[in-house]
Amino acid sequence: MAEQTQTLTKKDFETPQDVRWCPGCGDYAILAALQRLLPSLGVAREKHVFVSGIGCSSRFPYYMNTFGFHTIHGRAPAIATGLKLANPDLTVWVVTGDGDALSIGGNHFMHLMRRNVNLNVLLFNNRIYGLTKGQYSPTSEQGKVTKSTPFGSLDHPVDPASLALASGATFVARALAVDAKGLAAVMQEAVEHQGTSFVEIFQNCNVFNDGAFDDFGERQVRETKQVVVEDGKPLLFGKDHSQGVSFGSDFLPRVVEGADLAQATVANRSNKRLAQLIASLPFPEFPVPMGVLYQETRATYDALAWEQVETVKKNSAKSSIQAILDSGDTWVVS
């Protein structure tokens, strides 16, 4: 393992390639956030690998001066799994979008989450197909009018965080591309987590789905329309945290305030049932939960896989292909 000999800066992670996202795309903010975060992690530049699928978000690896593999539609989780198994020293990032991860790659997404391979998944959710010029995606709201649905889409949308939880993810978080501070904090925790860290990032597509997150993402409404989930703290939101979310004995959420504020449910990121309730809070009746929703400690797939190899090795007398070929039912012809 090469030791890091010099302090890296944001510049070290920038590539000379022209960034080809549309001007004003939410992806720029995420790129900048990553380029700012990576130098602080104490991980050598060559140890980072960005693996992506297809879509606007999946162009991401070209703009990071690390190792990068821009693969095929929906399959980045599979390729990243193989990479991490082959080379467990690496810090592997999967960059994907709502169509890539949840539509064409839905199967791989689910299995990556349950296996808990030690890598980070950044899902750029803009609730639209951008690169193919504007069809509705699996996270688009029902009734969405797009080129492919001129009379409105019929599908009920999927909630990525709830899906990740249901699939057995060990780290589930939400962030907003334009909230640099919140995004950095979540990504920092994601890198530190051992296992598959799933981060859904709400990212605006200013060409095909502009303003998709304004209702809760705009700076002036964030306070009242988002609830930042902090471990061990009550679920408070609103001006001066004057409101709270409380789950009753019927498991249904209620907004509490005034004298009832003390009844606000206390977040506990290791409580999966609670995380599922929080993740699925309906908007706009309730604020959108942001931050780390859930985290659990569970052995990673890659660690288990290599441990198994080592254990079998230790308990086996046959350590070469020759020994295996020569064993069992053999006979000699002279």
Q: Which residues bind other proteins (CB under 8 A)?
A: 1-2, 15, 17, 44-47, 49, 51-52, 54, 61-62, 64-72, 75, 77-87, 89-90, 107-108, 110-111, 305-306, 308-309, 312-313, 315-316, 318-322, 324-326, 328-334
Minimum distance from CB of 115 to other proteins (Å)?
9
Q: Are 235 and 255 in contact (CB under 8 A)?
A: no
The pair of three-digit structure tokens given for residue 291, joined into one six-digit string: 């931050």
**Cβ 86 vs Cβ 69: under 8 Å:** no
Torsion angle in degrees (nearest 10) through CA of 119, 125, 128, 131 = -50
For other proteins, the closer CB: 20 or 273: 20
Q: Which is nearer to other proteins, 72 or 180 (CB)?
A: 72
Q: Minimum Å distance from CB 90 to other proteins?
A: 6
What phi and psi values does residue 163 have, to the nearest 5 degrees? -65, -40
Q: Which is nearer to other proteins, 151 or 331 (CB)?
A: 331
What's the token pair of residue 72? 């095929």
Strands 226-229 and 288-295: parallel
Which among 146, 150, 97 is positioned nearest to 126, based on CA atoms? 97
Give me 172's structure tokens: 């589930």
Q: How far is the CB of 43 from other proteins (least distance, A)?
A: 11
**CB-wise, 6 or 249, nearer to other proteins?**
6
Give min distance, CB of 30 to other proteins, in A. 17
Cβ distance to other proteins smaller for residue 2 or 252: 2
Cα-based angle 131, 27, 100 (whole degrees, multiple of 5): 45
Q: Minimum CB separation from other proteins for residue 159, in Å?
A: 21
